[in-house]
Structure 1
């Protein structure tokens, strides 16, 4: 790194020396113009500035005008806690790089239209979050070499389009193993939709943990919904009002877990005494829930950093190290889970 810095400084010194010769002034005068010192004549300053611009000189600490300083982040919607955490991660990462972020949704503008907007704005590229890419859009991205990075795509993208997510399967497996370790053997799940790669992986992790423990999968205490509060509330009421309700429920997202908590309240289940609740995401709402949710934590800041870093590498013509990047999850334990109380009989 030190060698690279020295080489860069030598190149800049050589360029300024060349400009000084071309302008017919001393290197000291060019240096004064570069540092915007006032003690340089107006005509000389104009002549040197023109040469600096023509040769593409970038002052230290100033952005290179030849490099796009804007990216686009597109979401399905901006309403859920997951979305807000991912937006924050992307914006923080972009801010560190001196890049502006344009955010939008696919509610009124298709991915295809956003791709056109990306080109029209001259943006460095686009991050697409939890969306389904049509084959035509994938073909355009690949053929036109548009810098695009996906976060948690709903369907498996082309191998040429990098995607970033978390270890959904193992995170879900860890969550259910925690519940099993507390003595729960009847564990329900409010899962994501089967067409969602993340949702499907979390359901498979849930089933793997049960299978490893020798517990049969029971579809009567499993419901699939969008990562949505209202749908989860309705599904959880069905589970809890069944003839043989579970003693624990694993929700595939924080929004769904909040639905489970409300369903438990309406059905007369105390959490965690009557029902342990485990979530996946660990957005800000998880710690503020009542009771605070135990959850599988996604590294949102790292997701935003990684997606932005990979995108800027693509914009520079550098291929990613891998077409699929998975970041590790972490189990965060709070008071929504507890040891299963033994059933007392009179």
Structure 2
């Protein structure tokens, strides 16, 4: 039990003693009313109930309506459009539920420290966004029944820990199918790291679309990087300098897609005339890119909102129907993709 919890119990006990004195009954009689025992006279019960309500007494196991509930949302960092849009969904949903949000990062404080902080603050629970959960942390969450919800975990969590993500495989497959429909058969990819569940699913979706279309997978035009601009720029330049370069590139994130655009510029290619570029994310930067990016849209705000709703339900003893929730993606078409044009013979 936390210090805060013990202090609250001591205060409640002192309040019951005062109510017993004011009602001119024994403390045991007040206790019987609190526990809704039937062996108390109607008039005495009514008098004690009125005093309990007047003094704001909260019965054990009941939520104190005057006590602000908190949840903690932990990110790898608080930079970038992904974080901004997810945290907006968390804050808005928490506000509707009457819950306060404490945000933090794993840069200076580990997940295990945040789990300790969650208990110390007597918080309702913890949302962990895009992080690798160590086995010891997972074991602690399960054994201590800590309310925890994961958004886009990097590794598959225990079945007892709810996680929320999007339809990464089908979203990527749809994106590549769109490029194939435009006549592109030489499609490269700047993929995420294989240890990332989302990155691996998007690569598998890419490969599934090629296989269904009868197009051979060529590892020479596929590179795996972090969801990062600089790494993507280097990887994209390598892809574009291959012996048989692609006419289209699918990037596993907006940051990587921006790297593809810059690589195309440095390589003297115009987008989409010489190179079609498709992204995955559709954060705020996608529409502001030059040219604006066609992208698979993740419902970021709904990710945050759904995680918050599941966490509050979990804290109230109501586990979700499924330990894994996937929200649907949507294909958004802009001007970075177009029909493949024949190579110039001039």
TM-score (norm 1): 0.83
Q: After superposition, where does 1:2-81 map in structure 2 within 5 Å?
A: 21-22=46-47, 51-54=54-57, 64-65=65-66, 69-81=69-81
CA contact (8 A) 2:73 2:126 kept: yes
Q: Which residue of 2 aligns with 1:303?
A: 303
For 2:58 and 2:288, how far apart are their aligned partners in 1? 55
CA contact (8 A) 2:58 2:64 kept: no
What is the CA-CA distance between 1:105 and the residue it aligns to?
0.9
Q: After superposition, where does 1:247-262 map in structure 2 within 5 Å?
A: 247-262=247-262
For 1:55 and 1:63, how far apart are their aligned partners in 2? 6
Q: Which residue of 2 aligns with 1:122?
A: 122
What is the CA-CA distance between 1:50 and the residue it aligns to?
6.6
Q: Which residue of 1 aligns with 2:271?
A: 271
- Cα deviation per residue 1:289-321 (whole Å; 9 max; x = unaligned)? 111000000011211111001000110011111
Mean Cα deviation higher: 239-248 or 280-289: 239-248
CA contact (8 A) 1:220 1:239 kept: yes
For 1:213 and 1:21, how far apart are their aligned partners in 2? 76
For 2:271 and 2:215, how far apart are their aligned partners in 1? 23
- Cα deviation per residue 1:121-175 (whole Å; 9 max; x = unaligned)? 1110000011001000000000000000000100000000000000000000000
Gap change, CA 1:18 and 1:233, over 3 Å in 2: farther
For 2:144 and 2:95, how far apart are their aligned partners in 1? 27
Gap change, CA 1:325 and 1:55, over 3 Å in 2: closer
CA contact (8 A) 1:277 1:336 kept: yes
For 2:175 and 2:303, how far apart are their aligned partners in 1? 21
For 1:19 and 1:231, how far apart are their aligned partners in 2? 74
Gap change, CA 1:55 and 1:154, over 3 Å in 2: closer
What is the CA-CA distance between 1:345 and the residue it aligns to?
2.0
For 1:22 and 1:92, how far apart are their aligned partners in 2? 41
For 1:18 and 1:161, how far apart are their aligned partners in 2? 49
- Name the count of aligned residue pairs: 303
Query: 2:331 is paired with a residue of what secondary structure?
Result: strand
What is the CA-CA distance between 1:101 and the residue it aligns to?
1.1
CA contact (8 A) 1:126 1:149 kept: yes
For 1:279 and 1:50, how far apart are their aligned partners in 2? 57
**Is there any run of 5+ residues in structure 2 with no aligned partner, and where?**
1-41
For 2:142 and 2:277, how far apart are their aligned partners in 1? 43
For 1:168 and 1:18, how far apart are their aligned partners in 2? 63
Q: Which residue of 2 aligns with 1:7?
A: none
Query: 2:169 is paired with a residue of what secondary structure?
Result: helix
For 2:90 and 2:155, how far apart are their aligned partners in 1? 22
CA contact (8 A) 1:240 1:246 kept: yes
Query: 1:249 is paired with a residue of what secondary structure?
Result: strand
For 2:58 and 2:64, how far apart are their aligned partners in 1? 15
For 1:218 and 1:242, how far apart are their aligned partners in 2? 11
Query: 2:149 is paired with a residue of what secondary structure?
Result: strand
TM-score (norm 2): 0.83
For 2:154 and 2:239, how far apart are their aligned partners in 1? 26
For 1:289 and 1:131, how far apart are their aligned partners in 2? 28
Q: After superposition, where does 1:143-158 map in structure 2 within 5 Å?
A: 143-158=143-158
What is the CA-CA distance between 1:65 and the residue it aligns to?
3.4
Q: Which residue of 2 aligns with 1:38?
A: none
For 2:330 and 2:214, how far apart are their aligned partners in 1? 25
For 2:207 and 2:317, how far apart are their aligned partners in 1? 41
What is the CA-CA distance between 1:21 and the residue it aligns to?
4.2
Gap change, CA 1:173 and 1:122, over 3 Å in 2: same
Q: Which runs of 4 or more aligned residues in structure 1 lie more than 4 Å from their structure 2 counterparts after TM superposition?
A: 17-21
**Is there any run of 5+ residues in structure 1 with no aligned partner, and where?**
1-16, 25-29, 31-47, 57-61
